[in-house]
Structure 1
Amino acid sequence: MDFIVLVLNLAAAQGLLLSFFLYYKRKNHVPNLFIASYTLITSFVLFIFQFKDQGLYISVESIRYATFLLIYISGPLLYLYTKYLIGEKQQIDTSIIKHFAAIPVVIGIEMLFPNSVLYTLDHADELHPEDAFDQLYILEYILILSTIGYLLISFKKIWVFDGLALNLFSNMESANLNWLRNLLLLFSAFLFIHLIDTSLDYLQWDLKLSSYIMKLGFPVLIYVISYKALTQPEIFKELRTSELSMPLKQSYQSSGLKEDKAKQHVDRLLTFMEEEKPYLDCNLTIEDLAKSLGISRHHLTEVINKYLKKNFYEFVNEFRLEKVKTLLLDKSKTHITLVGIAFEAGFNSKTTFNTLFRKETGLTPTAFRKQHTN
């Protein structure tokens, strides 16, 4: 057994084990059902690929048909994982069925036209009806393009959520979906290569690009998912669908918040921040602050955005930065490390702290302390 076969077998085995854990993982349970299904199917196809390489009664055509269906199933599964992870929907309902409608369509085509897809695959080295050959590639192109569509929609949802998250969280680490964006980009690259391979294969130039994807790409996908999906925290249970679809300015037009009432909320908010210092909680969310003030989350967001001209993330971290400055100049705190001071002020990431501090002051924390001490 060569090294590549060993890596593929280990990746497939890990994928099966991972899918089991994701199915039963309570945190992010609903979105994990979709990513677990994706991992399970990917691992299954990897095993089929190994059977082919070992000559265990699996033909090349069967592998191609399995990957052919995997491409279509992967798009909806990754899209649904994205949709449920960001909290756009909370419970699975029958509406997800429409995303997998192509599967019975393919089966129907096989029943009505038995000399189409499977015939072409199972008799690839023989003469076959030209229309069957064309039907195979037309169907494959349709499924590839539909998968590209799902990926584009997933990218859009993440992009919208990135903007929305700034009004939900005071620390972005738990809501950072860069790993999912990179996963979708990686899958998009594999899909593009497969599209090229399909086009060349139609011209009977077999470069076996899809085979290389199986050997190099899918194990990477499984290992990425293994680490990130298991460690991804819950983002926001109470995120409303309307918040993901309606621009903030448009939603404020119908909020019903009078200007005098809004100014009262501003005064209460600033007083509460100064006296109670809720920003010292590194996990503070807009929901937490709204409950503490007895204000609806929507109205509190409007007050911060419209009247203070900031998003929630900027608003809270300005208080944290001021607290850091105070601690840096406090002679009784000189024994505390910069990271310790950052955490004491409510930050939970050294990188975020350094970035925001330098943006605010134009200096590193060390340079700031030295300059003001001198």
Structure 2
Amino acid sequence: MDKLSFLEVIAAIAVFVSILLAVFLLTVKTERKLENRLFAAFLIINSIDISGLFMHLFVDSYNLKAFKISAYLLVMPLFYLYVNAACYNDFNLKRKHLLHLIPFILANLILVPRLYLAEGAAKEVFFKTMWHSPEMFFYQIIGELQYFFYIIAVFLILIKYKKVYLENYTNSNTLLYKWLSQLTLIFLIIHVCIIVKNIVRYTQDRDLFIWLNIVAGTVFLLSACWFILKALNYPELFRRIDSTLQPTKDFAETLATEDKFDEAKNVQIEQLRNYMVEKEPFLDPSLTIQELADQVEIPVRELSVLINHHINQHFFDFVNEYRVKKAMTILKDPTKKEVTVLEILYEVGFNSKSSFHTYFKKYTNQTPTVFRSN
């Protein structure tokens, strides 16, 4: 099998796997379908893009081939919208999101005179030399500017998501942040391959160009298989946050200027710590800062500043510290020697073995088993 045939096989398998996952996402029963539909659309558009590696075997239309090339400009807008939908439980598509279509529309409009409206030999000649035309130079400029605009926007969303999550939630499942971060890094790697491939396109090194296509296709295939494994192993992957929540630093300074009595803050901190010990709200694995604020009767913003700035801990760490202390007490209780570590971690509010071990070791410098045996 020569390199071109191998490339076509890799691309065909990648398209098949991606379409399979897209169908799964579109048909699986879930509480909120928007993010699944956006990710499915993202996979389908990527499949259309990579199908160009074997499309010539089945399609003769130059218009369809050109449309396939321009479809790449829908990839990053869809990924950006997907990240928003995955992170924020109140995100919905609106008319303003149609603005994300502008680069795609522009790229097709510049091809209208010399491709879509051309006929016969003129169309064939233009298509064969298209990558050296001013139109495609403009297309690549648009593509690169668009890509880096969206990749920066996605990273900013993830940074805010992680900060808000740690400050407002205690569920130790941070799988969403890891999944989206890994996904974004994979796209960066694939895009670097595409940039290098496009540079090599204008040289005479056809073998290197084909090998770079093989690398990009293989990475995409492996990524699609990884998506499948994630979907199967973590069907309830995400925990979203409210987009109206802001990082504490955005309002901490304002509240700080209003706080004139340090002694009052100390009293609040003491009352909060007493409440945590006596009422043990941390036993709820899905405790949020809003729920705790309602229980202790402190405005949620004030409580957020109290914990994140005056106590100098993320809400996430603040609550998990009490969970670890509770676990330490149980582990040292001689009457509970028969209770397993797994049972204890669920009892104190953790919902995964790995996160419990991570926080227990962070707090005690020992594993739960070693701590219990000492």
TM-score w.r.t. length of structure 2: 0.82
Among candidates 28, 38, 44, match of residue 40 of structure 1: 44
Structure 1 position 338 matched with structure 2 position 336? no
Q: CA deviation at 1:191?
A: 1.0
Aligned partner of 1:290 in structure 2 is 293
Distance 2:330 2:106 in 1: 65
Structure 1 pair 120–215 and aligned structure 2 pair: CA distance change class (3 A): farther
2:342 aligned counterpart, secondary structure: helix
Kept in 2: contact 1:16–1:43 (CA 8 A):
no
Structure 1 position 20 matched with structure 2 position 26? yes
Q: CA RMSD in A?
A: 3.4
What residue identity is the alignment partner of 1:75? M
Distance 1:117 1:288 in 2: 64
Among candidates 218, 224, 233, match of residue 216 of structure 1: 218
Kept in 2: contact 1:116–1:133 (CA 8 A):
no
Among candidates 57, 63, 67, match of residue 59 of structure 2: 57
Kept in 2: contact 1:279–1:317 (CA 8 A):
yes
Kept in 2: contact 1:45–1:63 (CA 8 A):
no
Distance 1:65 1:210 in 2: 23
Measured against aligned partners, the alpha-carbon deviations of 1:294-329 in whole angstroms (never above 9, x if no partner) come to 333212111112322221011111111110111011
Among candidates 13, 16, 23, match of residue 10 of structure 1: 16
Q: CA deviation at 1:345?
A: 1.4
Structure 1 pair 5–74 and aligned structure 2 pair: CA distance change class (3 A): closer
Structure 1 position 184 matched with structure 2 position 184? yes
Q: 89-98 or 185-194, which moves further after superposition?
A: 89-98
The 5-angstrom pairing of residues 304-319 of structure 1 reads 304-319=307-322
Kept in 2: contact 1:193–1:209 (CA 8 A):
no
The 5-angstrom pairing of residues 125-274 of structure 1 reads 133-174=133-174, 176-206=176-206, 207-209=209-211, 211-212=213-214, 215-228=217-230, 230-236=235-241, 238-240=242-244, 243=246, 248-255=248-255, 256=258, 259=261, 262-263=265-266, 265-274=268-277
Q: CA deviation at 1:43?
A: 3.4
Kept in 1: contact 2:22–2:41 (CA 8 A):
no
The 5-angstrom pairing of residues 113-132 of structure 1 reads 114=115, 122-123=124-125
Among candidates 340, 364, 367, match of residue 364 of structure 1: 367
What residue identity is the alignment partner of 2:183? L
Q: CA deviation at 1:169?
A: 1.6
What residue identity is the alignment partner of 1:38? F
Q: CA deviation at 1:62?
A: 5.2
2:370 aligned counterpart, secondary structure: helix
Structure 1 position 279 matched with structure 2 position 285? no
Structure 1 position 350 matched with structure 2 position 353? yes
What residue identity is the alignment partner of 2:330? L
Q: CA deviation at 1:105?
A: 1.1
Q: How many residues align?
A: 359
Q: CA deviation at 1:354?
A: 1.4
Kept in 1: contact 2:14–2:47 (CA 8 A):
no
2:107 aligned counterpart, secondary structure: helix
Aligned partner of 1:103 in structure 2 is 104
Distance 2:71 2:329 in 1: 56
Q: 117-126 or 173-182, which moves further after superposition?
A: 117-126
Aligned partner of 1:82 in structure 2 is 83
Measured against aligned partners, the alpha-carbon deviations of 1:110-148 in whole angstroms (never above 9, x if no partner) come to 23554999999943685x599x62331332233133212
What residue identity is the alignment partner of 1:134? P
Kept in 2: contact 1:30–1:84 (CA 8 A):
yes
What percent identity do the matched residue pairs reach? 21
Kept in 2: contact 1:174–1:232 (CA 8 A):
no
Gaps of 5+ in 1: none
Structure 1 pair 98–258 and aligned structure 2 pair: CA distance change class (3 A): farther
